[in-house]
Amino acid sequence: MKCEELLQYLSDYIDQELDEELTSAAQEHLANCRNCRVVLDTTQQTIFLFREQGKRTIPATQRQRLFDQLQNAFLNREAES
């Protein structure tokens, strides 16, 4: 397996959705390619941090201000058309 192939299958590899042959080839490549190990590690850490962060909510006042800005932008766009 080459680096480009590993990147193509990276998501499935992380999710453990590859068949045995591709999993074995990916593991062999990762054992010998530092760059791909860094990419794998970074991707896994990003996923972990995203999951740990959880859902963020926008405070009601900011949410309303954002909604108002979007609505005004939409209305101004329609008026210009």
pLDDT tens track for 22-55:
999 999 999 999 999 999 999 999 988 888 776 6
Cα gap 47→42, rounded to integer Å: 9
Q: Other C-beta atoms within 10 Å of 56: how many?
A: 5
Q: Where are the domains of the chain?
A: 3-80
**Averaged pLDDT, 13-19:** 94
DSSP state of 9: H
pLDDT on residue 9: 93
Instruction: Please report, for residues 21, 28, 46, 69, 77, the alpha-carbon distance to residue 80 in angstroms, rounded to integers and kept in the order given.
Output: 58, 59, 42, 16, 5
Tell me, what's the pLDDT at 50?
82
